[in-house]
Chains A and B, each alone.
Chain A
């Protein structure tokens, strides 16, 4: 890969910057990040472009599959079998279980190495904690959140704290809704050091403050003051943005009991952690990251894919041998919903979708069946190449991954990370094969 050498200067012709690479990953959500992780581990040179849209909103939990055939899944692997029976077109039904596992393993190990510890995927789902005091089935969780999940199982005497000025997170709410399955819970409210005014405080700001040792010490003192006989303490996810595991360990040492995080509503720390970790780690690994810019145009040429984009400094071109489309759905801009139908935003690839707008949604918002439009998306072949209007791959070098794919409802099925990670794995594998063949 080469950046046109020399000093970046702005002249009036606005010289375009030109990068060349083996794989271009379009999209900076979970699927895009996973694709880059897999590509780098295979030694493929890689450029990644895209707005980090939905990833900023994640709980931090990586779901594989939580809901299928009208039931909540304790065993997601068994769930995949059910899924294969009832939904053979689901992206996860088209990937071998062993490969899904390998993808999850590799991805979570990579994250842990990059500084945000994740639990290794196991045979069973965790029933992870939500800020509402409900639980959700998920496969892999940040290390900072694990002990709360374990504590609930054994009804450990646990104090949940919330923070003065932090909106949308109430320890009382958590306790009120969790009480039936976890009677030994209690709630307390603390103020955060230097943020005692009673005005609004953001998790991100507290998380960054807790990276400073003196702030940690002061906060730990406040926790200890309300600790009582609690064996554990749960709190909103604020234990650092960078190296949360270090902040977590340090705080636990200071407080003297195990601590755990509970996700919060956006703008929340778990997503910001992932995003900043990738933005930090990828360039260091030699990946060309063009953050926060969307590809304006993609052209398929003989033997290469050309991406055209523009940032504040001017035009940019990425020339790549292969590309993975991981642009997400409506929230991240991969799909556009117009009054007459859903279209794929970058290239106009055909989108599988309901017949008309009147069929997009069911009447009940919380209908357990989910909404038909959520299953719209791009169709791919067995090599995860998106299909054109003729049912043939749009190109040999173009692959697709993530929730852009059709036939899945990542929200209702609790399968967002599963689809993202596993399909990215397959798409990278297919791209690698093509690169090898040449």
Chain B
């Protein structure tokens, strides 16, 4: 089959051809894209919004040792352990192998603490018992009410970096392509096969038709919706909303888990230069307008403070929410007890032979999910190449390195070029980073939005949450000719509105002077509250980090 990169315009509809269309630009979809590309297969990846717009951008970035699930789901726990080990090998640049602690504080069940090593043992997870004093020596901010502690091999992973690297590698391998803001409208089905997928460019409103031999639905929380559009009723998901908050600076070196069955506010995960405290778990009915709330923030904070009293006075700069797609078990289980495992649907019994859905699972197991999906799809295409992602290292692309906290400042400092001015002072993102993103990052396009640049870098992710850098980056883009109309200001407004969604529930203390200054800048100085143009569609289904 001919594959085409260049869209053919016919009757006002852009037409694209590919071997495999993947729906959903999260870590799973991009993982499938790379998996297939490593087998020599051309893919087209689409997302209604952008990369990591759903749960892949709305999680804590924990590379599970499996410890969290050791007590409840030893199969998932073992899977996490194995996958964690693989990723540490093939994608070391994306991973901070920081280690983790499980700690119990006064009031927690001593019985659970005693049983914990046994659970770990069963799942093959290394677990070292520490005295409370040893634990506090490693992490001095831990509560003095600690009574049990274990060290386990947790690590963290940068989900943005993984996603970008996946796409970048797939582009290099088979000229595969990623199209942002392309949402599925409907499927054209003939004789038990999907022959075309009709999409809408959510930015321009224009229609796109994608012709593919195989279609993979990796739409995460939207997977059920996408499957239904293809007439498949076998994907049944439970939506579990989780909210986390981000501190201004890194609080601990290691991942800190509460030593008790999973619950709200039971984990603090380092994210490079910051820490992420989470997570809540609340079932929600739909995916529209998912945003963190003050009540959720209070819940995680109260629980987190029991482990680390310093969180009481820590400056938090942002909250965010993701929706976990959990596979509905037979009995109406709640979000915590539903399986964190994943399922691959081949939809054969739904009468479709070239459609597959992969959903559920975890960030840690995305590679395995992609492998299983890749095996199915490649097999259907008659491609007998084996999966290579467990051994082939993820290359490090030039334009995709900017999401790692702390990378940009070190890069900039070493480069020592005074003309490479810093545009985002909080995260110290230099002009050269923004330039490389708009030139060649996955999903780069003309008139690239600030939000899209933000997904691909640390722009707007520091303590000012975009207040200053949005202005500097916008001016830079006008200067470069990227914008030549009101579009630049509209983009700035949309970016700041998006940031605010996450800022709003953590506004107190030191974040209040910051937001007062921000409002003065954006309204009084720039006049963004009185722009004529229509604001972009509000973010749906989550607030990214």
Report B528 CB to chain A, min CB distance, Å: 6
Q: Give min CB distance, B350 to chain A, whole Å.
A: 39
Q: How far is the CB of A104 from chain B (nearest CB, A)?
A: 18
Query: Given B418, B422, B486, B527, which contacts A198 in the complex, CB threshold below 8 Å?
Result: B418
A357 with B516, Cβ < 8 A, contacts A167-B423, A176-B486 known: no
Query: Are B421 and A200 in contact, CB atoms less than 8 angstroms apart?
Result: yes
Asked if B513 contacts A330 (CB within 8 A), the reply is: yes
* A168-B472, A176-B486 known; A135 vs B504 contact (CB < 8 Å): no
Q: Give the most central of A167, A176, A338, A363: most B CB within 10 Å.
A: A167
Among A14-22, A151-159, A411-419, the stretch in contact with B: A411-419
- Interface residue? A36 (CB, 8 A): no
Shortest Cβ distance from residue B346 to the other chain A in the assembled complex, whole angstroms: 41
| B230 shortest CB reach to chain A, Å | 34
Q: Check A358 for interface membership: any CB of B closer than 8 A.
A: yes
> Per DSSP, are chain A's interface residues mostly helix, strand or loop, or mixed?
loop
Q: How far is the CB of B351 from chain A (nearest CB, A)?
A: 43
Q: Is the CB of B516 within 8 A of A330?
A: yes
Kindly report which residue of chain A lies nearest to residue B527, judged by CB atoms.
A134
| Set of chain B residues within 8 Å of A336, measured between Cβ atoms | 509, 512
Interface positions of B from 488 to 540, Cβ below 8 Å from A:
488-489, 493, 496-497, 499-501, 504, 507-509, 512-513, 515-517, 519-531, 535
How far does the alpha carbon of A173 sit from the alpha carbon of B487 in the complex, in Å? 10
Query: Which residues of the other chain, B, contact A364 by a CB distance below 8 angstroms?
Result: 497, 500
Closest B residue to A416 by CB, please name it: B524
Contacts of B476 in A (CB 8 A): 167, 170
Q: Which residues of A contact B478 (CB under 8 A)?
A: 170, 172-173, 176
List B contacts of A357 (CB < 8 A).
294, 507-508
Known A361-B504, A363-B291; judge A265-B471 contact (CB<8 A).
yes
- Determine the main DSSP class of B at the interface with A: helix
- Residues of A contacting B516 with CB < 8 Å? 54, 329-331, 411
Question: Given A170-B476, A170-B479, A177-B486, is A135 in contact with B419 using a C-beta cutoff of 8 Å?
Answer: no
Q: Is the CB of A59 within 8 A of B528?
A: no
B483 beta carbon closer than 8 Å to chain A: yes
Q: Once the chains are docked, how many angstroms separate the CA of A433 from the CA of B529? A: 41
Complex contact B521–A172 (CB within 8 A): no
Task: Check if A438 is an interface residue, CB within 8 A of chain B.
Answer: no
Q: How far is the CB of A168 from chain B (nearest CB, A)?
A: 5
Are the CB atoms of A366 and B525 closer together than 8 Å?
no
* Complex-state Cα separation, A414 to B531, whole angstroms: 15
Whether a CB of chain B sits under 8 angstroms from the CB of A260 is no
Contact A132 B527 (CB under 8 A): yes
Cross-chain contact B501 with A131 (CB below 8 angstroms): no
Within 8 A of B (CB), among A274-330: 329-330
Q: Which residues of B contact A176 (CB under 8 A)?
A: 478, 483-486, 488
State the CA gap A132–B474 with chains docked (Å). 9
- Whether A57 is near chain B, meaning CB under 8 Å from some CB there, is yes
> Contact at B298–A72, with CB atoms within 8 Å?
no
A191 and B169 alpha carbons, distance in the complex (Å)? 41
Q: Is the CB of B526 within 8 A of A134?
A: yes
Closest B residue, CB atoms, query A169: B475
Provide the A158-181 mask, 1 if CB < 8 A to any CB of B, else 0: 000010010111101100110000
Most buried by A among B476, B488, B509, B526: B526
Q: Which of A361-376 contact B (CB under 8 A)?
A: 361, 363-366, 368, 371, 373-374
- Inter-chain CA distance A235–B474, complex, in Å, is 18
User: Within the assembled complex, what's the spacing in Å between the Cα atoms of A92 and B36?
Assistant: 66
A148 within 8 A of partner (CB): no
- A177–B531 CA distance with the chains assembled, in angstroms: 10
Tell me whether B293 is interfacial, beta carbon within 8 Å: yes
* Central interface residue in B301, B481, B501, B504, by most chain A CB within 10 Å: B504
Chain A residues 181-227 with CB under 8 Å of chain B are 189, 197-200
How many interface residues does chain A have, given as a range? 35 or more
Q: Is there an interface contact between B525 and A131, defined as CB atoms closer than 8 Å?
A: yes
Q: Are B421 and A132 in contact (CB under 8 A)?
A: no
On whether A198 and B419 interact (CB within 8 A), knowing A357-B508, A361-B507, A366-B497, the answer reads yes
Interface residues of A in 116-143 (CB under 8 A from B): 130-136
A131 touches B526 (CB 8 A): yes
Which residues from chain B contact A377 at a C-beta distance below 8 Å? none
Q: Which of A63, A169, A197, A358 interacts with B418 by CB under 8 Å?
A: A197
Residues of chain B within 8 A of A130, CB atoms compared: 525-527
Least CB distance from A368 to B in Å reads 7
Q: Tell me which of A57, A135, A266, A330 contacts B527 (CB under 8 A).
A: A135
| In the complex, residue of chain B having the shortest beta-carbon distance to the beta carbon of A166 | B475
A345-389 to B contact mask, C-beta < 8 Å, 1/0:
000000000001110110111101001011000000000000000
Encode contact with B along A103-117: 1 for CB under 8 Å, 0 otherwise: 000000000000000
Verify if B295 is at the interface (C-beta below 8 Å from A): yes
* Interface positions of B from 282 to 321, Cβ below 8 Å from A: 291, 293-295, 298, 301
Contacts of B513 in A (CB 8 A): 330-331, 333
Which residues of A are found within 8 Å of B342, using beta-carbon distances? none
Alpha-carbon distance A412/B419, docked complex (angstroms): 37
Q: Given the complex, which residues of A lie within 8 Å of B295, measured CB to CB?
A: 358
CB-based contact B521/A265 at 8 Å: yes
Which of A57, A197, A199, A365 is within 8 Å of B500, CB to CB? Answer: A365
Question: B147 on the interface (CB 8 Å rule)?
Answer: no
**Docked pose: A368 CA to B523 CA in angstroms:** 10
User: Whose C-beta in chain A lies nearest to the C-beta of B298?
Assistant: A339
CB distance from A55 to the nearest CB of B (A): 11
Does B468 touch A at the CB level, under 8 Å? yes
Q: What are the residues of chain B within 8 A of A411 when measuring CB–CB? A: 516, 519-520, 523-524
Does chain B have a CB within 8 A of A402? no
A136→B524 contact, CB < 8 A: yes
Q: Which residues from chain A contact B484 at a C-beta distance below 8 Å? A: 172, 176
B528 near A132 with CB under 8 A, answer: yes
A337: Cβ under 8 A from any B Cβ: yes
Contact A134/B489 with A168-B472, A411-B519, A411-B524 known, Cβ cut-off 8 Å:
yes
Whether A263 is near chain B, meaning CB under 8 Å from some CB there, is yes
A263: chain B residues at CB < 8 Å are 525
Chain B residue nearest in CB terms to A403? B516
Closest residue of A by beta carbon distance from B496: A365
- Complex Cα distance, B472 from A37, in Å, reads 36
18 A-B interface contacts by CB (under 8 A): A54-B516, A130-B526, A130-B527, A132-B526, A132-B527, A172-B478, A173-B474, A176-B485, A189-B479, A199-B418, A200-B422, A331-B516, A335-B512, A338-B508, A358-B293, A358-B295, A363-B291, A365-B497
| Given A173-B478, A198-B419, A357-B294, 19 further pairs, Cβ under 8 A | A54-B516, A130-B526, A132-B489, A134-B531, A135-B527, A168-B475, A170-B479, A172-B479, A173-B488, A199-B419, A200-B418, A266-B517, A337-B507, A337-B512, A361-B507, A365-B504, A366-B523, A411-B523, A412-B529
Identify the B interface with A (CB < 8 A).
291, 293-295, 298, 301, 418-419, 421-423, 468, 471-472, 474-476, 478-479, 481, 483-486, 488-489, 493, 496-497, 499-501, 504, 507-509, 512-513, 515-517, 519-531, 535
Mark A residues whose CB is within 8 Å of B. 54, 57, 59, 63, 72, 130-136, 162, 165, 167-170, 172-173, 176-177, 189, 197-200, 263, 265-266, 329-331, 333, 335-339, 356-358, 360-361, 363-366, 368, 371, 373-374, 411-412, 414, 416
